[in-house]
Amino acid sequence: MPLLRKYKHFNRYHTIAVTLVKHGFGYLIDQLGLNHFLAFHERHQEPKGSKLSLGERIRFMLEELGPTFIKLGQLLSTRHDLLPPDIIGELKKLQDEVPPFEFEKARQVVEEQMGQSLAELFAEFEVEPLAAASIGQVHRARLIRTKQEVAVKIQRPDIEKMVKSDLEIMFDLARLAEKHTALGETYPFVDMVAIFSQAIKEEMDYTIEGRNTEKFFRNFAQDKSICIPNVFWDYSGTRVLTLEYFAGIGLNEKQKLVGQGYNTQRLAQIISHAMMKQILIDGIFHADPHPGNLLVLGGEKIGFIDFGMVGFISKERQEQFFQLMIGFIRGNTEIIMDTILAMGVMDNDVNIVNLRRDVQRISDKYAQISLGEISLGDSIQEIMHLAFKYHIKMPSEFTLLSRSLITLEGTVQSLDPVLNILEVIKTFQGRFWKEKLSLNELKHFMIDHFLSYQHMFKLFPSQMTSILERIKNNEVKIKMEYPEMNEVFKHFDKIANKLSFSIVLLSFSIIMAGLIIGSNLVRTNMTYNYWHLPILEIGAVTAIVMAGWLFWSIFRSGRF
């Protein structure tokens, strides 16, 4: 850790060190090199809440450390593949609720960003904010030119400086944790912080949120049941975002919705179908569809707001997610297993047999119950628990998607307890494959691949002409290699050598029999000489020499 950075953030390091000790994580002080930030009495203070669980102590510690650490905990609450269920459960309780900042500071941020006074920009501007969070707060206003009602999102003063400081410290602590702690051998802390750093930086740049909002506006331009707010770019920047104001009823006000005659079951269907379109068709989805980000407008229309956190899903991941859900619907082990292996990155020592057994257990459980009884959230969490158990690193796309779907399931079931998201996904089968096989999709597929391989297409005619010319001039030599063929030939050699050895033994036996017979003939004074040569003796010596040579050749080859 650079000494300059330590000195620069001395007070913040001290706060973090004290908070670690306070919540029972004092054993990390020495390992993380934070001991010199504490006085003697601070190192040995009694931990607070010693009877609390590990997850509870982590949650309280993050809440005390402030907005940046709360955001980190919220992100980690989606990582079922990295953290155990008890810690995940506590991290989900982290609330991004902070007091609003003063109106004068809000005025100063707007005027610095836009280069004009508040009175020159807005005919009306409410002092009390509609909502406040750790990054910013929202005020209701009216444009001075068009008199249109708008919602003005204003970033907290100095939040960028604080987040930047905390991120630098987080990276330092993550590197130290991976290097010096037992948990660092299991959890990729640096990767976690890197993903979080990118997410929070994008959330703090309001121009990114504005562009995301416009993408959703275009995607639902033909859907009369879904409303996305317009972006007013003349009144927006990196720290201020001005959007069309939606006056509606929050989904958490179910009694009010029923009292005004709304069909809550119909509203639940509209929301779930809109989310499936985002995930399976558009490839960009609202990552936090909780009741506060969804409003019921007149005429059973649903307004989506707050696109500070969105997820992107590639076509490949879309198909994998769809296949996974179909696997659950059908209780098909092979589909679920193949999709998990295709989606995740796993160590070489993962026990595939045990993984398949656990997948079989899950699919058997779902095969025995009706589709209406299957919980999408439970099924996703079971997959993530398997990923955690077998150290399978799931793609960040899927972890954010899982959070969105679990939140969605809770939202729609508050409106219609009977509605099942998996049934909605099942109804999307025809539309999903129709979109994937549409002429427009095939056209894009061909264009993308043509652009990828156009260089090869350009070279192909000249290269093919050159090859044909060389074939014509007998300049092409074809070399075929079959690595396993050597083993086949060795096997044949052994068979041939054994056969030869057998023949030699038989020949040697015949020779010995001939010698015995020859010796008997000598005893009876019978001779077999031609041109005065001892044919029998010469033949015997020749056979013995050849047999010896054959024996030696076989043993020397080592192929017997």
- Where a domain ends, among 437, 471, 496? 437
Q: According to the model, what pLDDT value does residue 301 have?
A: 94
Does residue 159 surpass a pLDDT of 70? yes
Report the distance separating Cα 280 and Cα 261, nearest Å.
Answer: 32
Q: According to the model, what pLDDT value does residue 528 have?
A: 47
Highest averaged pLDDT of the listed ranges 234-238, 258-262, 389-393, 443-447: 234-238
Mean pLDDT value of segment 256-273? 92
Does residue 450 surpass a pLDDT of 90? no
The answer on 421 and 299 residing in a single domain is yes
The answer on 218 and 258 residing in a single domain is no
Q: According to the model, what pLDDT value does residue 333 have?
A: 85
What kind and span of H or E run contains 241?
strand 240-244
Does residue 413 surpass a pLDDT of 50? yes
Confidence of residue 127 (pLDDT cuts 50, 70, 90): very high
The answer on 117 and 59 residing in a single domain is no
Structural domain contains residue 278: yes
Confidence of residue 114 (pLDDT cuts 50, 70, 90): very high
Q: According to the model, what pLDDT value does residue 417 have?
A: 87
Determine the 3-state secondary structure of 36 from DSSP.
helix
Q: According to the model, what pLDDT value does residue 530 have?
A: 46
Structural domain contains residue 465: no
Which residues face 142 on adjacent strands?
A: 124, 149
247 near 305, Cβ under 8 Å? no
Range of the domain at 511: 485-557
The answer on 255 and 398 residing in a single domain is yes
Q: According to the model, what pLDDT value does residue 382 have?
A: 83
Q: According to the model, what pLDDT value does residue 321 have?
A: 87
The answer on 101 and 76 residing in a single domain is no
Min mean pLDDT across 29-33, 34-38, 162-166, 542-546 is at: 542-546
> What amino acid occupies position 417?
P
The answer on 317 and 288 residing in a single domain is yes
The answer on 150 and 181 residing in a single domain is no
Does residue 438 surpass a pLDDT of 80? no
Task: Say how many domains are in the chain.
Answer: 4
The answer on 141 and 49 residing in a single domain is no
Mean pLDDT value of segment 221-248? 95
The answer on 428 and 531 residing in a single domain is no
The answer on 329 and 228 residing in a single domain is no
Which residues fall within 8 angstroms of residue 240, CB to CB, at 6 or more apart?
109, 110, 113, 114, 152, 153, 154, 155, 206
Structural domain contains residue 294: yes
CATH of the domain at 216: 3.30.200
Q: According to the model, what pLDDT value does residue 478 have?
A: 67
The answer on 146 and 278 residing in a single domain is no
The answer on 433 and 318 residing in a single domain is yes
Task: Catalogue the E-assigned strands of 245-377.
Answer: 249-250, 284-286, 294-297, 301-304, 310-312
pTM above 0.75, yes or no: no
Structural domain contains residue 23: yes
Structural domain contains residue 462: no
- Where a domain ends, among 437, 463, 494? 437
